[in-house]
Structure formats: structure tokens, C-alpha cells
Amino acid sequence: MKIPLAKPEITHDDIRAVNRVLGTSRLSLGSELEEFERSVAQYVGAAHALAVNSGTSALHLCIRALGIGPGDEVIVPSFAFIAVANAVRYEKATPVFVDIEPATLNLDPLKVEAALSSRTRAIIVVHTFGFPAELRAIMALAKRHRLFVIEDASEAFGAQYGNGKVGALADFGVFAFYPNKQITTGEGGMVVTNNPETASLLRSLRNQGRRGSEDWLDHFELGYNYRISELNCALGNEQIKRIETSLARREWIARQYHEGLWQLREVSLPALNLPQRRISWFAYVVRLGHHYNREHRDWLRTEMLSKGIECARYFAPIHLQPVYRRESCRKTNLPVTEAVADRCLALPFFTTLSERHIKEVCRTLAMLLRTIGTVAGDGSAPEDLSGQITSGSAYAD
Ligand SMILES: Cc1ncc(COP(=O)(O)O)c(C=O)c1O
């Protein structure tokens, strides 16, 4: 692979920090964890932060802490990573899949309202690809209907909505630190909340239902081992020190892609700015015009890979996954999700991606788009797209 889809940036300082922990006898529940939680809470502006071993665990803890269970419904997007719905199913509650806005790929507040029922308990709002969702409208309707809101900011560390950082603006915020994220701990996640009682419940659930001051073998809740090691937290502590530099670099990469692709008629591009919001670039996802279909997108992905460039089909809708065709869920009409998911292609995107490689990705994509019509599922010739697709605008098609 010449240009991978994602790659963590690991510096000498990162390696030294992890090695330093190895030289101590404290590999879990130590000062690195405390520092990491303090740093994240301070950075996002939340009162409490609680580190766990993955973003999925973080989501699950929120659902557990809210006492959501069988018979309850939770609104989720289907155009998202599967953990969003799985966390609901772990507690035998029902995910209700709601459609997205085409411009930001985030939950459409009007469709959320239409999907509410007497069983709805919460909404999981995902800030997809680092683009802040329409929180004001969603928070207002949650207040009206007395629902909890969990912000899944796994892909949006550092993004802002108004003056606040996403993750800290609802009842709970969740972050994930897998190696493709803005900062990584290898594996890891975080829950943030402003509620002190909930924070101590989460702390207990993370650690087998223990309470901090009690004996190690006393358990007060049905808990889990969702602890994160000191090694992971040491890495996180180094990574968060350079978060602003990393976010600036990632924004620069997005702008370079925009520069290299805006003239292509066949694709529409993500917006570079949103009013009163700061994007924290997680991925750069282009969308083929509506004359194209999934075969075109899959062909492009295969051809890019054959040239050493790894791309991804972010996202495959959750409600169409084999496991969710069998699982109990409620699906509203999802025309945008289904139409958009077939035509999205995520390009290589990571903090250390070089200008030379960005240009190579753009050049290769442009070259492949010129020949794409010949590979349509029915073998038909390419359509003349001139004048039909506005290029360079925010996901306009
Ligand atoms: C929106 C979203 N939620 C949750 C997760 C789960 O995080 P993890 O892989 O750390 O369990 C991810 C991970 O990519 C994600 O993108």
C-alpha cells in the first residue's frame, strides 16, 4: 500500500511516554489515566471525563447509566458506525433509524421529531466525519419531549458548535481514540458529562461495579471491565498536547483536496466551512453525482487500491447490515441514507499525509472518473454529465 486510508502520527515523545510507563509498576488505574481524563475534560469544557477501553464501551455505558432497556427506543442515524446501534441493542432496547441531511450527513432534526414515539427515551446524535450536527434543534426537541441526548463525537474531537466543543453540549458526550482518529490511544474512548452522580455511576460500571474507596472485591453494580491501561493513556496524554496543530494540519489537507478536486464535475465535495461551527476533519469523503451508482463507487475503490491508494465506503448503512436485518429495530424512511451511502468514497486522510500524495490521489481519481462510464452495472456508456452537476459546492447534487 502506497497511500493508506488512515495512519496514526506517532512521535518520539509518544514512544518515550509509553516506555516511561513500562518502567513503572503501575499499568492500570494510575496517574496517566487521571491526567488524560483531566486534559480531555478541560479541552472540551466538561465537568467530568471518564476514560474507557473503546468508543463502543463509552456508548454502552451511557445507555446503561440512563437505565434504557427492553421496550425503550433510541433514535440513531443509520449512516454511521455500527457501534451506535449496537450499544442500544446490548441493553435489549430498540434502535430507531432516522434519515440524515444531505449537506452535513448528520441527523435531520425534522425527521427525528417525526420518528418519536411514546417509547422514545434518548437520541444519539453523531457528529459524522467531524461535522457538528444541528444540535440546537435537536436539543430543543429533546427538551420538549423530555428525552436524553448523547452526543457521539467519536469522529469529532475538537469540533465546535457555536462557542462550545461538541461532546460537552448534551447529557453525555462520547469520544473514540482508535488509530484513525484525530488523537489516538491505540484503543480507547471517553465519556464526558456535567452530572457528578452520573459520572460516579459510570466510573463504577467501568470497573466491575466497584466503588473507588471500597475493597477491590466489593461490587455494587453489574459492571464491566471497560478499563483502559496506563500505556494507552500515556499515548493519549502526548497526543492531546498537539491537538490544535493536528487539527490545523488536517484542515489544510481538506483544503488541498478541495483545491485538487473542485473542478471535477462528477463528484461533489464536503463543505470547507459551516456557519458558527468548527469542523474537526476526521475523513475526506467525496460523493459521486446522482447519475452514478454503487457499482461505479466500488469499481473506483478497487481501481484506486490497485494503484496503491486505499479508499473506503464510509458508511454502509447500519439498517442494511445482515445483523440488523435480523435484529429488532425500527426503520423510518431513509431515502437520503440509502442514496448517499452508495455513492460516497472516503479518500486517504491522516495528519501526516503529504502534499505529493494528496496530488497523486486527486490525479488518480480524476483519471479514473474519465473512464468510469464503461463499468456501469449494465455495461452502458457514460452519460454526458455536463451542466447537470454543480461542482465544488457542499455536497450539492
Ligand atoms: C461514530 C462512532 N461511534 C463509535 C465508534 C466506536 O469506537 P471504537 O471503535 O473505539 O469502539 C466509532 C469508531 O470509529 C465511531 O466512528
pLDDT, average across residues 216-226? 95
**DSSP annotation string for 312-380:** B-----GGGSHHHHHS--EE---HHHHHHHTTEEEEP--TT--HHHHHHHHHHHHHHHHHGGGGSTT-P
Please tell me the predicted confidence (pLDDT) of residue 212.
Answer: 82
pLDDT surpassing 90 at residue 356: yes
pLDDT surpassing 50 at residue 150: yes
Please tell me the predicted confidence (pLDDT) of residue 373.
Answer: 63
Ligand 1 test: best mutation among 53, 154, 187, most atoms within 8 Å of CB?
A: 154
Interval between CA 57 and ligand 1 midpoint (Å): 9
Name residues whose C-beta falls within 8 Å of residue 90's C-beta, 6 or more positions apart in sequence: 60, 63
Q: Which burial class, exposed, middle or buried, applies to 124 when counting CB atoms under 10 A from its CB (0-12, 13-18, 19+)?
A: buried
Interval between CA 96 and ligand 1 midpoint (Å): 19
pLDDT, average across residues 271-283? 97
Interval between CA 385 and ligand 1 midpoint (Å): 36
Please tell me the predicted confidence (pLDDT) of residue 393.
Answer: 47
Name residues whose C-beta falls within 8 Å of residue 142's C-beta, 6 or more positions apart in sequence: 123, 148, 149, 170
Interval between CA 167 and ligand 1 midpoint (Å): 14
CB under 6 Å to ligand 1: residues? 54-56, 59, 80-81, 83-84, 126, 152, 154-155, 176, 178, 189
Question: Greater confidence, 314 or 383?
Answer: 314
List, in sequence order, every residue forming a beta bridge with 125; answer none if it has no partner: 151
Spatial distance between the Cα atoms of 68 and 75, rounded to a whole number of angstroms: 12
Q: How confident is the model at residue 384 (pLDDT cuts 50, 70, 90)?
A: very low
Q: How confident is the model at residue 329 (pLDDT cuts 50, 70, 90)?
A: confident
Question: Greater confidence, 317 or 326?
Answer: 317
Helix 31-44 to helix 230-241 angle (10° resolution) is 40
Name residues whose C-beta falls within 8 Å of residue 34's C-beta, 6 or more positions apart in sequence: none
pLDDT surpassing 90 at residue 228: yes
Residue indicated by cell numbers 449512516: 79
Parallel/antiparallel/unpaired status of strands 172-176 and 344-347: unpaired
pLDDT in tens, 151-194: 999 999 999 999 999 999 999 999 999 999 999 999 999 999 99
pLDDT, average across residues 290-309? 96
Residue indicated by cell numbers 454502509: 316
In this structure, are residues 100 and 77 in contact, taking their beta carbons and an 8 Å threshold? Answer: yes
* Residue with CA closest to ligand 1 atom 3: 154
Spatial distance between the Cα atoms of 132 and 394, rounded to a whole number of angstroms: 15
Put the strands of the sheet holding 172-176 in their side by side order. Answer: 48-52, 189-193, 172-176, 148-152, 120-126, 73-77, 94-98, 330-331
Q: How confident is the model at residue 385 (pLDDT cuts 50, 70, 90)?
A: very low
pLDDT surpassing 70 at residue 376: no
Spatial distance between the Cα atoms of 27 and 270, rounded to a whole number of angstroms: 42
Interval between CA 369 and ligand 1 midpoint (Å): 31
Phi, psi of 361 (to 5 degrees): -60, -45
Spatial distance between the Cα atoms of 362 and 375, rounded to a whole number of angstroms: 20
pLDDT, average across residues 191-208? 97
pLDDT surpassing 90 at residue 248: yes
Q: How far is CA 300 from the centre of its chain?
A: 23
Please tell me the predicted confidence (pLDDT) of residue 394.
Answer: 63
pLDDT surpassing 80 at residue 374: no
Parallel/antiparallel/unpaired status of strands 189-193 and 172-176: antiparallel
Spatial distance between the Cα atoms of 105 and 80, rounded to a whole number of angstroms: 9
Name residues whose C-beta falls within 8 Å of residue 186's C-beta, 6 or more positions apart in sequence: 177, 179, 231, 232, 235
pLDDT surpassing 80 at residue 142: yes
pLDDT, average across residues 210-224? 92
pTM: 0.94
